[in-house]
């Protein structure tokens, strides 16, 4: 099994594993329909990336790894089946790697990428292997191959692929209804998380601020809770305050004050994300001084409150697309953004908008204006009758408009006369628009067209 082929290789999860396998000495190739910011790094490592899915691409490989988005009629899948080449999903490959090591798996509906990236950043001194769902600035990548057996990765619940994992340690950030097109109900999601907990060999760190997680930890002896609202948590943040754009808080572990820390990324959700990271960094021998230093320097993974331009006009790129994530991002923004704030939102998948439509009510409270862009379909057909007009009505913001074209967004930003912050939010291709506008502002001042 020395030649591995990745179908959908430019995906953030797939590309990370492709890099790890290349660094482990395997011959790696793959295909994707469009290039993005990870393609160049893949090619710089000597990985061949095809820009079309053709049967002949897999004729000389030993293993095919397929993204969960790949359909069975994909020509590479069909050819691999014809040739008898083994086909596995990304989650299965991750399990083959992590289950042999001291795996630290970060699971949860929200916050996986930030928490795993923060943990990876703080544990870099011990040289772990890292595979995360965003670009970690400290390593300039979403993956690195370490020299010790500690393996940090996100555990993806969206398609239940995290059930292939048997980690040494697990973090569960929260549990909420999402990806209902796969799970069907919140109860099914909770069953999956229960199984994931059952499979964890050692300690499970659970956010006690989330009611759904608390239901699953009764009578479990290998659980520690963390939080900012749960006063009996094993790991707790208190004395929270925002000063000069930084969030400061005191951390107590098992009833003893460990120290005061600061983070540069806004929002209470990021304090929650930091708590299990601080605990594990301490457990792995990182000094309190070093934890404090690295935590403050952590600016977030790419697309997690990513400040692309900061002047009179501020351009922020953020991955938030679930109503809860949107609320958290806006709550965090309002602690540091003092000017007019405008949210530009690209809904993600017709199925998600349909299943979560009622949850969008009030989700943009706190911003001055909301701009809705067309739904990023991710290949889905609109079988649900989803319209932007229905979403606008459900959001219920008094200053909400629908804009169909990127060019109109550019004009809105260019025409802004006041100091303002534009929050570009969504899991689709809205990031490219945010980057283009930020780059144009950088070249021409606040004029973007």
The reported pTM is: 0.84
What are the residue ranges in the chain where pLDDT is below 50?
Answer: 446-449
406: exposed, middle or buried (Cβ count in 10 Å: 0-12, 13-18, 19+): middle
Q: Could you read off the pLDDT of 353-411 as tens digits, one per residue? A: 999 999 999 999 999 999 999 999 988 899 999 999 999 999 999 999 999 999 999 99
* 110 assigned binding-site residue: yes
The CATH number assigned to the domain with range 3-88 reads 3.40.50.720
Q: Where in the chain is the domain with CATH 3.90.190.20?
A: 306-444
**Inter-CA distances, 207 with 94, 261, 368, Å:** 24, 19, 31
* 390 assigned binding-site residue: no
Tokens of residue 97, six digits? 């790697």
**Distance between CA atoms of residues 148 and 108, nearest Å:** 26
Q: Which of 258, 239, 244 is nearest to 296 (CA)?
A: 244
pLDDT for the residue 447? 45
pLDDT for the residue 343? 97
Q: Where in the chain is the domain with CATH 3.40.50.720?
A: 3-88
Is residue 216 within 8 Å of 235, Cβ to Cβ? no
Tell me which fold the domain 306-444 belongs to: 3.90.190
Is residue 45 within 8 Å of 20, Cβ to Cβ? no
Rounded (10°) angle between helices 12-23 and 90-98: 40
* 111 assigned binding-site residue: yes
The CATH number assigned to the domain with range 99-297 reads 3.40.1190.10
Residues annotated as catalytic are 112-113, 154
Q: Where in the chain is the domain with CATH 3.40.1190.10?
A: 99-297
């Amino acid at each position: 099994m020395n030649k591995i082929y990745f179908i959908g290789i430019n995906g953030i999860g797939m590309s990370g594993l492709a890099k790890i396998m290349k660094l482990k000495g395997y011959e790696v190739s793959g295909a994707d329909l469009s290039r993005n910011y990870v393609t160049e790094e893949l090619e710089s490592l000597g990985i061949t990336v095809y820009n079309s899915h053709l049967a002949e691409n897999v004729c000389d490989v030993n293993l095919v790894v397929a993204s969960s988005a790949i359909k069975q009629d994909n020509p590479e899948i069909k050819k691999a089946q014809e040739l008898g080449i083994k086909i596995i999903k990304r989650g299965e490959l991750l399990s083959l790697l992590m289950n042999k090591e001291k795996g630290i798996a970060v699971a949860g509906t929200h916050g996986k990428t930030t928490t795993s990236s923060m943990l990876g950043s703080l544990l870099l001194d011990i040289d772990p292997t890292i595979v995360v769902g965003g670009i970690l600035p400290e390593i300039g990548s979403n993956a690195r191959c370490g020299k010790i057996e500690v393996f940090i990765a996100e555990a993806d619940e969206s398609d239940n692929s995290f059930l292939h994992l048997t980690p040494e340690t697990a973090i569960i950030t929260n549990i909420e209804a999402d990806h209902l097109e796969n799970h069907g109900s919140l109860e099914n999601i909770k069953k999956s998380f229960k199984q994931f907990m059952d499979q964890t060999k050692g300690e499970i760190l659970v956010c006690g601020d989330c009611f759904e997680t608390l239901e699953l930890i009764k009578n479990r002896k290998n659980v520690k809770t963390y939080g900012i609202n749960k006063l009996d948590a094993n790991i707790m943040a208190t004395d929270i305050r925002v000063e000069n754009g930084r969030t400061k808080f005191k951390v107590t572990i098992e009833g003893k004050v460990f120290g005061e820390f600061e983070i540069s990324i806004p929002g209470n959700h990021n304090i929650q994300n930091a708590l299990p990271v601080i605990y594990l960094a301490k457990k792995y021998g990182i000094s309190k001084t070093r934890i404090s230093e690295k935590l403050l320097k952590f600016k977030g993974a790419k697309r997690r409150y990513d400040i692309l331009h900061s002047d009179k006009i501020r351009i922020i790129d953020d991955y938030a697309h679930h109503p809860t994530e949107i609320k958290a991002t806006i709550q965090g923004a309002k602690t540091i953004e003092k000017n007019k704030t405008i949210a530009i939102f690209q809904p993600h998948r017709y199925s998600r908008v349909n299943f979560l439509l009622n949850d969008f009510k009030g989700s943009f409270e706190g911003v001055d204006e909301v701009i809705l862009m067309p739904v990023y379909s991710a290949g889905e057909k609109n079988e649900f009758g989803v319209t932007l007009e229905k979403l606008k009505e459900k959001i219920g913001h008094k200053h909400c408009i629908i804009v169909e074209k990127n060019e109109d967004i550019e004009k809105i930003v260019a025409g802004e006369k006041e100091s303002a912050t534009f929050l570009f939010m969504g899991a689709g291709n809205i990031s490219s628009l945010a980057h283009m506008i930020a780059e144009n502002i950088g070249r021409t001042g606040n004029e973007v067209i």
